[in-house]
Every structure is written in C-alpha cells, then in structure tokens.
Amino acid sequence: MKLTKQFISEIENSFGADSKLVLKAINFADKKHKGTLRDDGTPYITHPLKVAEFVKKFKVSKNASMLYMAAVLHDTLEDTYTSYRELCETFSEEVASIVMELSTAKFAPLWISGGEGGKAEYLAKKMEHMTNYALYIKLCDRLHNLTTLGGCSKEKQQRTINDTRIILDYLKVARKLTASQARVAAEIEEVLSELNKKG
C-alpha cells in the first residue's frame, strides 16, 4: 500500500515526534496483512487503518500514538505470523500488551463455536476484564465491522448484529464505561438502530 503525501502529512501533524514510529506500524501491518482481503474485497489493511482513525476521532489522549499503533496492529498477533516478542522489539511492550489483549486465544475457537451466541458471550466476558485502552480499541473495531457489513452474507450480517447487541447489553451491566468508550458505544447503538430499520 502506497501512502499518500496527504496521509503522511496528517500523521506527522497528529503525532509529531512519534510520527515515524506510527508510520512504521502502518507499514508493518500492511506487510503482515498483504494479500488478505475483507469480505467486501478490499485489502485487509483498510480495516485496522479505519479502526485507528476511529480511535483518534473519539478520544484525546496523551498516549494517542500508542493507541493508534495498537489499533493499526490489533489483528497482527491473531491473524498473521507475528509474535508478541516481535511487537515488543519493533514497537514497545505497552503496544504489544494491548494487541495481546485484543487477540483471541488460539484455543478459543474450539469451545466458543458451539451454541447460539457462544462467541458473543466469550467476547463480552473478555471485554469486561480488558484494560480501558484495549476495550476502547475493541469497541472501535466493532463499530467499523458494523459499518462494513455490505460485503458479508446475510447470515453473517445478522450474526454480527446479534452478537453486538449481546456484547453491549452485557457491558452496560458488567462495567462502567469511560467517557470515550461511552461515545463509541453510543455510535454503535445508532448504527444498530439504522441496521434494524433496514431489516
């Protein structure tokens, strides 16, 4: 993926001294996801980049560059040949730890695949115990997945909608959301409402 001058300029303006490391994370994720497509046929890298954009949009933080990098890299441990050690050495232990939190354990699909809502319940309970940063990114991830359902089968669309409802309802009871998490959750609620209207 070739980054435009405008995009690079936006990164430099947003992250200043950290911009080189942020751009390194983007190029790293792009190489790791190379050749992988989303359900709508777009390169997979478009997903973590959009999640990172949401992360920057809904929260102002002194750790903005760390959050952005973790968002860009959030699927590398789970979906590519990337190790925790590699993320620590290339970026930082803080970034790697957040990415680890956002990754589904390799053994998990063996026991969450069975039963209605099994995966949603697993994710909801996992999200309940995430750090605030990881939960915030996970909600941004869920928001982008909801807004790009067009390329998915009807069955997957409905499953994603149902799973999201289960997760949000669980989190409302299980933990108090931060202001930034609540903003993303409210945005998700709006998207769910629009999707339900469309039927």
Q: CA dihedral defined by 21, 23, 27, 32, rounded to 10 degrees?
A: 60
Q: Check: CB of residue 195 under 8 Å from CB of residue 161.
A: yes
Q: What are phi and psi of 37, to 5 degrees?
A: -115, 155
101 is catalytic: no
141 is catalytic: no
- A 10 A CB-CB count for 199 gives 4
Catalytic residue from among 79, 86, 121, 128: 79
Q: Can you tell me the distance from the alpha carbon of 30 to that of 43, in angstroms, rounded to the nearest whole number? A: 9
Q: Can you tell me the distance from the alpha carbon of 80 to that of 131, in angstroms, rounded to the nearest whole number? A: 23
Catalytic residue from among 10, 53, 78, 94: 78
The catalytic residue positions are: 78-79
